[in-house]
Amino acid sequence: MRTTATKTVRGEGARLAALRLLLILAVALVGAGLGTLRAPARVTAQDANTSCAGEPIGAGAGAEATGSPAAGSPAASPDAGASPAAGGADLNVAFLPKDTTNPYFVTAATGGEEAAAEVGGQFQQVGPASANAAEQVTFIQTLTQQRVSAIAVSANDPDALAPALREAIAQGIKVVSYDSDVAPDARQIFVNQADSEQIGRIQVQILGRLLGCEGEIAILSAASTATNQNTWIGFMEDELAKPGYENMTLVETAYGDDDPQVSFDRTVELLTAYPDLGGIISPTTVGIAAAAAALEQEGRGGDVQLTGLGTPNQLREFVQSGTIQQFALWNPVDLGYLAYQASAALVAGTITGAPGETFEAGRLGSYTVGENGQVVLGPPFIFTAENIDQFNF
């Protein structure tokens, strides 16, 4: 909160009047929940269900954004049981994430391991220690030589990986992309964590709600070549172009390369370059945590609103401190689980990647392959201080 200097009031009556006024203001601030030095958001979590454009939060792709966390398709059933896809020692699915140290991909791998245990297949996760497309190509080539059954990959660069993946397919290996797609002719299935349009729009809608639909904002992305990031940013920009966002201005899109220190430094640079910055969107689990840490170090936590994509365990402390009021995601465990189930279904011949095909995905239930071989896990979910402790991932 900002304070302004006041002139000294002379006389006992004037002093008493001033004291009474201060007492009234203090009571009002405490009653409104603003009795801290941290500037409050203009709209508190879940106070409104509409965006600055007057649409339901999460609107844009036709599915509801609020509700249960990404637990699979609407047909999902906790009692669905294991998938009938091929299992046994002959099923060997290798996960190749953008990097193996990112907590998001570590969490997704646990879902892959769970699915492997259910269908009786093998699971391994390999990849670079930091986001690097060239290193991913080397891993693809090695996995092809090893004759794994399927490769599930999250691409750092959709085109750089394509030739090696096409060669893997030519050798009879099934290819599934998840989280971040590759060129469509370099895989059979893309397991999308949520509808890309919903993911992009909902982050702008959340920030708009927190800022009261006005102010300067910035985006802190991962690598400039990341397919999913660029797709989401495109929908963010489209959302900002709608009537109702006229007073919100996107001043810069910065790139932290999914590196904690680089993302931290980029956040500090944004704060320096734009002193009136009102909010930041970081659609990357690495970036949003680094941005939150930077805001707190610079004393701007709660002053500059921050939202994006992250996991509850990763961001819980920042939600509790008030640096982050709302953020969105899906369940990465379920994403990894579905990627493995889709890989197993391809290996079994249950699906080929053609639109309209269906397969059973264990506890997540039945899924239908959409256009361009896309399988959507489910709608994004908004995490807040009120619900974050219900989740452990």
pLDDT digits (tens, 9 = 90+) for 208-245: 999 999 999 999 999 999 989 999 999 999 999 999 99
Distance of CA 339 to the CA centre of its chain: 17
165 beta partners: none
- What is the per-residue pLDDT for 74? 32
DSSP 211-280: HTT-EEEEEEES-TT-HHHHHHHHHHHHHHTSTT-TTEEEEEEEE-TT-HHHHHHHHHHHHHH-TTEEEE
Q: What phi, psi does 376 have (nearest 5°)?
A: -100, 125
pLDDT at 71 over 70: no
In whole angstroms, give the CA distance from residue 8 to residue 362: 72
Choose between 353 and 74: higher pLDDT: 353
In whole angstroms, give the CA distance from residue 145 to residue 126: 14
CATH of domain 196-329: 3.40.50.2300
- What is the per-residue pLDDT for 59? 60
Quick one: CA dihedral 222, 225, 229, 232, positive or negative? positive
Query: Do the first three CATH levels of 92-193+332-377 and 196-329 match, i.e. the same topology?
Result: yes
Does the domain at 92-193+332-377 match CATH 3.40.50.2300? Answer given as yes
Exposure string of 196-215, with b = 16+ CB inside 10 Å and e = fewer, is bbbbbbbbbbbbbbbbebeb
Least confident among 80-89, 105-114, 367-376:
80-89
Exposure string of 289-299, with b = 16+ CB inside 10 Å and e = fewer, is bbbbbbbbeee
- For the question of whether the overall pTM of this predicted structure is more than 0.75, the answer is no
Q: What phi, psi does 35 have (nearest 5°)?
A: -80, 45
- What is the per-residue pLDDT for 145? 98
Average pLDDT over residues 86-100: 86
pLDDT at 77 over 60: no
- What is the per-residue pLDDT for 88? 60
Domain parsing of the chain, residue ranges? 92-193+332-377, 196-329
